A and B are shown apart, each in its own frame.
Chain A
Amino acid sequence: MPRQAARPVITRLLQRGLYGAPLAAVAALVVGPLAVMVMVSFWTRTGFSMTPDFSLAAYSTFLGSTRLDILFRSLWVAASATLIMLLIAYPAAFLIARRVRTDAVRTVLFLFAVPFLVNYVVRTFAWTEILGRSGWVNTMLLNLGVIGAPLDWLLYSQFSVYLGLITAYMPFMVFPIWLSLSAIDPRLEQASWMLGETPRQTFWRITLPLSLPGVFAAALFGFVGAFGEFAISTVLGGTGYQLLGNSVISALNVINYPLAAAISTFSVGVMGVLLLIWFRVFDLRLFLGKIMGRT
Chain B
Amino acid sequence: MTRKDWSRLEGLINADINVVAIGNSPSAVVNQLVAGGGRRAFDVINIVGGMQQPLVDADLILPIEVDRLSHWDANHYIADFLAPGTPGFDFIGYQDTVYGVPTVLQADSFAYLPDETGELDSLGALFDPRFRGFVALEDNYTTAGQKTALYLQQSGLADIDDPSNLTPGELRTVIDFLIEKKQEGQFRLLWSSFEQAVQLLVSKEVHVMDCWEPMVIVANQQGANVRYAQPSEGYLLWAMAAYIVNNPTRSEEQLEATYQMLDFMLGPWYGATITDMRGYMTNPLAADFARESDAFDQATAERVAAIDEDVKEKFEFGGTWQNRWPDEVDLYEEEWQRFKSA
Residues of A within 8 A of B (CB): 47-49, 61, 65-67, 69-70, 125, 128-129, 132-135, 152, 155-156, 234-235, 237-242, 246-247, 249-256
A-B contact pairs, 6 of them (CB 8 A): A66-B341, A128-B196, A128-B203, A234-B192, A240-B340, A253-B333
Tell me whether A240 and B139 are in contact (CB under 8 A). Answer: yes
B11: min CB distance to chain A, Å: 34
Residues of B within 8 A of A254 (CB): 26-27, 329-330, 332-333
Interface of B, secondary structure class, is helix
Tell me whether B189 and A66 are in contact (CB under 8 A). Answer: no
**Which listed residue, B25, B31, B337, touches A67 by the CB 8 Å rule?**
B337
C-alpha gap A89/B192 in the complex (Å): 32
B240: min CB distance to chain A, Å: 18
Tell me whether B341 and A252 are in contact (CB under 8 A). Answer: no
A142: min CB distance to chain B, Å: 14
A293: min CB distance to chain B, Å: 43
Tell me whether B133 and A65 are in contact (CB under 8 A). Answer: no
Stretch among B50-58, B147-155, B295-303, B309-317 lining the A interface:
B50-58
- Who on chain B is nearest to A67 by CB? B337
- Who on chain A is nearest to B31 by CB? A252
Residues of A within 8 A of B333 (CB): 250-251, 253-254, 256
**Which listed residue, B53, B332, B337, touches A247 by the CB 8 Å rule?**
B337
Tell me whether B26 and A253 are in contact (CB under 8 A). Answer: yes
C-alpha gap A250/B341 in the complex (Å): 13
Q: 3 tightest A-B contacts by CB?
A: A240-B340, A252-B27, A48-B54
Chain B residues 199 to 217 lying within 8 A of chain A, measured CB to CB, are: 199, 203-205
B41: min CB distance to chain A, Å: 20
Tell me whether B54 and A239 are in contact (CB under 8 A). Answer: no
Tell me whether B196 and A235 are in contact (CB under 8 A). Answer: yes
Chain B residues 17 to 64 lying within 8 A of chain A, measured CB to CB, are: 25-27, 30-31, 53-54, 57-58
Tell me whether A250 and B337 are in contact (CB under 8 A). Answer: yes
Tell me whether B30 and A255 are in contact (CB under 8 A). Answer: yes
Tell me whether B340 and A239 are in contact (CB under 8 A). Answer: yes
Tell me whether B341 and A69 are in contact (CB under 8 A). Answer: yes
Most A-side CB within 10 Å, residue of B31, B139, B338, B341: B341
Contact with A along B179-194 (1 / 0, CB 8 A): 0001000011110110
Residues of A within 8 A of B340 (CB): 239-242, 246
Does B339 reach chain A (CB closer than 8 Å)? yes
Residues of B within 8 A of A49 (CB): 57-58
A255 touching B341 in the complex, CB below 8 Å, given contacts A239-B182, A239-B190: no
Contact with A along B290-334 (1 / 0, CB 8 A): 000000000000000000000000000000000000000110111
C-alpha gap A67/B339 in the complex (Å): 12
**Which listed residue, A66, A239, A249, A251, touches B188 by the CB 8 Å rule?**
A239
Residues of A within 8 A of B188 (CB): 156, 238-239
- Who on chain A is nearest to B195 by CB? A125
Residues of B within 8 A of A251 (CB): 333
C-alpha gap A65/B333 in the complex (Å): 12
Residues of B within 8 A of A65 (CB): 334, 337-338
